Structure formats: structure tokens, C-alpha cells
Amino acid sequence: MELTREDLERLYDLLLLTRTLDDRLRRLFRQGRFEGTYFSAIGQEATTVVPTYLLKKDDFIGPAHREIGAMITRGVPIREVVCQVYARKESPDGGKMHPCTFGHPRYHILVPATLMAMQIPVAVGVALGYRNHRRDNLAVTFFGEGATCKGDFHEALNFAGVHKLPVVFICQNNFYAESVPLRLQTAAEDISVRAVAYGFPGVSVDGNDVLKVYEACREAFQRARSGGGPTLIECTTYRWYGHSDIDLAPYRPQEEVEAWKKKDPIPRFKRYLFEEGILTEEKEAEIIRRIAAEIDEAIDYAENSPRPDPEDVLKDVYATAL
């Protein structure tokens, strides 16, 4: 798909919404407003928002743990996103899962198991179903560079390559798996080169450049939909904060963090939009106002929404009455 001016504006809106909500949730966690922990994806928004925007509403998404942007872009009401983080009864997972287990079955986003890479073969299986049913859909799965070190990544990509399935693998390489730097994770020259082992293309793009991510996804999605098989897209990016919000990330040099903050995808995209005359100060101000109101409302809603009943845990262990 070609991006229209409306698309570009909408993308900016979604990036800003993702960023703003993420930042609010971080703070709410620190204020003790919800239990568990919180995984911020601030800094990485372009890598989830842009691919999701390019998908059809019923294309499958298999997320990992930093895909709040995918949920928002897919159109899940913000109320439900916050209910998920707050583990309320109205959460898509009924409060069963940890915050940041972003997903929503009705929106074709799997509520993931949070073992790294585990969702990758599942996405491949979904793509197999699309192929068999001749459905014009594709499956996309997100994961960090850390997950590419796991066996499930290898087995799944290898199989997807054999059958040229309509699946696209999107790796957010943020250079750390928790505290472990890339040099201790792999000696490969980059992550996308791993695709060579599976016989399909791998590309590396600046994941903080909205238009670059757009181009890589457009090409890969087109190829996958037209029977050309999978692509591994590596988006280099950076998480601004700790692995989760209890991690102060002392293992990263401050200069590195600062350098990456300068590469913030949102102002970069904003400059482009201003240059192209797509966005104006007033429009932006209006977007910001709307987002703030929407988020306030959603948080208010979630905070006042009921917690799961204790017995809810017993529900849905089986689909079958046994």
C-alpha cells in the first residue's frame, strides 16, 4: 500500500498515542497503581506501529512483550489496553496474565506466552492455515534480537522457508536482552543475516525511521502475500528505559542512551511531516489534546473497573466440557 497524507498523519497520531500511553503507564506503575511490572517500549514505537498499520485488520499478529504499539494501531480501545495492564476483569485476558502480555484475540493479536520466541512457530502455523485455506492474509510476529538466539526461532524460520509461507518476522534489535549486550548474544554480523540460513531475504533497517520501516514492510508484506515467502526484517532501535520498570539499566553507558534519544523516531517523523506540510502546529496540538483526554478517560475507566473474581481462574482451562 502507498501511504496517503492521511495515512502519514494517522501514523503520527498512533505513534504519539503509543508513546504517551506508554509513558503514563510507566508512571502509574511507579506510583503503585497496578501490580506486576511494566515493560516500556518507549523509543521503539516505529517498529510496531508502522508494520501493524500496513496490515489488514484480520492479519494475525504474534507479539512478544513490547507490542503495545501493535495493540493500539490495530484499534483495540485504549480502555481495554489499560484494563490489560491493570489486570482487570474486562482485560482481553480476563486479568489472567501479567501486564504487557499485550494481545487481543478478537483483534487477531495472540495473547502471547511470555517465553521468548515461543510465538514464532505459532505465527508460522497460522500462515500455514492461510495458505491451505487460500486466504489472502499474512501472519506477522514480533520479537527482540534476544529471541533470535532461541531454537524456536531457528526451527520456525527454517520451516517457513521450506514452504514459502505468508509470514513476516520482525525483529526489534535494541542491542540488549535485558542486560546482555549484543556481543554476548551472537557473533553474527547482524540479525537479518540469519535469514540466509533459511533461504529467504533478510533486511536490516533503521527502526527509528518511520519511512524506512514502512518501505521494508511494504516490500516484505507484498512478497509474502503474493506467494513469495517470508522475510526477516531487522529493525535496529533502542529502549529508553530499563528492561522493565524495576530495572534502572546500569549496564548501558549514559552516552549511548543519550545518543539514541537523539534518534527518537517521533520527532524525526514529525520533522518530515512538517516539511511536507502534512502536519501543522495546530493539528499536532489537537492530536495531543485528544490523546491526553482519551488516555485519562481510559485510565479512569480501568481504575474503576472490577477485578476478576477469584473463581475466574477456573474458567477456560478447557474449551471442552470434560
Partner 1 sequence: MKEVTYIQAINDALHEEMERDPSVIILGEDVGIYGGVFKATYGLLEKFGEERVIDTPIAESMIIGVSVGAALSGLRPVAEIQFADFISPAFDQLVQQAAKLHWRNNGALNVPMTVRCPYGGGVGGGVYHSQSVEAWFQIPGLIVVSPSTPYDAKGLLKAAIRCEDPVLYFEHKKLYRSIKEEVPEEEYIVPIRKARIARKGKDVTLISFGLMLYRSLEAALKLAEEGIEAEVIDLRTLYPMDKETIFDSVGRTRRAVVIHEAPKMGGIGGEIAAMLAEELFWKLDAPVKRIAGLDTPFPFAPTMENYYLPSTEKIVQGVRETCEA
Ligand X SMILES: Cc1ncc(C[n+]2csc(CCOP(=O)(O)OP(=O)(O)O)c2C)c(N)n1
Cα distance between residue 189 and residue 159, in whole Å:
23
**Sites for partner 1 among residues 198-237 (CB under 8 A):** none
Which one of partner 1, its own copies, Mg ion, none interacts with residue 310, CB within 5 to 8 A by kind?
A: partner 1
Whole-angstrom distance, CA of residue 189 vs CA of residue 58: 35
Q: Which of positions 98-117 make contact with ligand X (CB under 6 A)?
A: 114-116
Concatenate the DSSP letters of all residues of 255-299 into one string. HHHHHHHHT-HHHHHHHHHHHTTS--HHHHHHHHHHHHHHHHHHH
x/- track of binding to its own copies for residues 137-156 (CB under 8 A):
------------xxxxxxx-
- Closest C-alpha to 244, from 127, 113, 56, 85: 85
Other C-beta atoms closer than 10 Å to the C-beta of 267 total 10
Which of residues 113, 259, 285, 293 is near partner 1 by CB under 8 A? 113
* Binding of partner 1 by 281 (CB under 8 A): no
Altogether, the residues listed in the chain come to a count of 322
- How many residues contact partner 1, by CB under 8 A? 78
CA distances from 77 to 81, 180, 207, 261, 315 (A): 7, 35, 26, 29, 24
Q: Is 243 a catalytic residue?
A: yes
Stretch that binds partner 1, among 151-159, 198-206, 281-289, 297-305 (CB under 8 A): 151-159
Catalytic (active site) residue 176: no
Task: List helix spans (H) across the chain.
Answer: 5-30, 46-54, 68-73, 78-85, 119-132, 151-163, 182-185, 210-225, 254-262, 265-275, 281-303
* Among 66, 74, 88, 239, the one annotated catalytic: 239
Nearest-approach distance from CB 82 to ligand X, in angstroms: 21
Selected range binding ligand X among 98-106, 128-136, 170-178, 301-309, rule: CB under 6 A: 170-178
Candidate list 30, 113, 158, 315; residue touching its own copies; CB under 8 A:
158
Is 251 a residue of the active site?
yes
State how far the alpha carbon of 311 is from the alpha carbons of 85, 96, 99, in Å. Answer: 20, 11, 20
* Catalytic residue from among 27, 251, 271, 307: 251
Q: How far apart are CA 245 and CA 233, in angstroms?
A: 27
Per-residue binding string, partner 1, 40-59, x by CB under 8 A, is: --------------------
Of these partners, its own copies, partner 1, Mg ion, none, which one is at the site of residue 280 (CB under 5 to 8 Å by kind)?
Answer: none
CA pair distance 23, 45, nearest whole angstrom: 12
Question: What does 29 interact with, of partner 1, Mg ion, its own copies, none (CB < 5 to 8 A by kind)?
Answer: none
- Which residues of the chain form contacts with its own copies (CB under 8 A)? 149-155, 158, 161-162, 164, 183-189, 193-194, 196-200, 229
Residues labelled as active-site residues: 239, 243, 251
- Which residues of the chain form contacts with ligand X (CB under 6 A)? 65-66, 114-116, 143-147, 172, 174, 176-178, 243
